[in-house]
């Protein structure tokens, strides 16, 4: 199986979360773009690669065992210090449209387990996303 960069792994986590409910909303796509434009972890990322990286993830997810393959690629590409970052980005994308669907919650759970994140750490990240995206 080919490998991916840590940038691609972060993009994969966001795409997988957004696509998990079969509805990639404009708000989720905008949030992904904002994340890639503004966060230090993407400072040295070639943004021109985003469409092809997202498409590669989507294509992989269409395979019968695509979810497992994508998770394997993410697991192999992410250093320990970026695993919480990946989960935080996935949470932000899930919360971006104001509602987290059941499928998105399930994807976050799968990511949390695969990234080997402590439940309390994950709960803190989730709470932060809810606070950032809450509306009156």
Residue 84 lies in a domain: yes
Residue 56 lies in a domain: yes
Residue 4's φ and ψ, nearest 5 degrees, are -130, 165
Taking the C-alpha atoms of residue 136 and residue 115, their distance in angstroms, rounded to an integer, is: 33
Taking the C-alpha atoms of residue 70 and residue 125, their distance in angstroms, rounded to an integer, is: 22
Residue 87's φ and ψ, nearest 5 degrees, are -65, -40
CATH number reported for the structural domain that contains residue 111 in this entry: 1.10.3680.10
Residue 91 lies in a domain: yes
Q: What pLDDT, on the 0 to 100 scale, is given for residue 99?
A: 84
Per-residue pLDDT of 30-40, as tens digits, reads 889 999 999 99
Residue 20 lies in a domain: yes
Residue 117 lies in a domain: yes
Per-residue pLDDT of 63-120, as tens digits, reads 999 999 999 999 999 999 999 999 999 999 999 888 888 999 999 999 999 999 999 9
User: Taking Cα atoms as reference points, which of 99, 58, 69 lies closest to residue 2?
Assistant: 69
Domain count, the chain: 1
Residue 26 lies in a domain: yes
Taking the C-alpha atoms of residue 127 and residue 48, their distance in angstroms, rounded to an integer, is: 32
User: SS3 for 75?
Assistant: helix
Instruction: Examine the pLDDT at 49 and tell me if it is beyond 80.
Output: yes
Contact present, 91 and 108 (Cβ < 8 Å): yes
User: Looking at the whole model, is its pTM more than 0.85?
Assistant: yes
Taking the C-alpha atoms of residue 49 and residue 53, their distance in angstroms, rounded to an integer, is: 6
Helix axes 6-19, 66-77, angle to 10 degrees: 140
Grade residue 21 by pLDDT with cuts at 50, 70 and 90. confident
Residue 1 lies in a domain: no
Residues 6+ apart with CB under 8 A from 113: none
Range of the domain at 78: 6-133
Biggest CA–CA distance in the chain, Å, is 46
């Amino acid at each position: 199986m080919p490998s991916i960069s840590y940038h691609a792994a972060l993009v994969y986590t966001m795409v997988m979360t957004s696509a998990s409910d079969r509805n990639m909303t404009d708000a989720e796509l905008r949030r992904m773009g904002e994340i890639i434009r503004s966060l230090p972890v993407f400072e040295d990322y070639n943004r021109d690669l985003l469409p092809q990286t997202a498409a590669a993830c989507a294509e992989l997810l269409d395979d019968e065992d695509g979810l497992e393959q994508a998770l394997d690629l993410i697991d192999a590409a992410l250093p320990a210090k970026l695993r919480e970052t990946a989960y935080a980005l996935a949470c932000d994308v899930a919360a971006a449209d104001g509602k987290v669907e059941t499928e998105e919650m399930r994807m976050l759970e799968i990511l949390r387990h695969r990234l080997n994140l402590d439940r309390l750490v994950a709960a803190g990240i989730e709470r932060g996303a809810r606070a950032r995206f809450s509306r009156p």
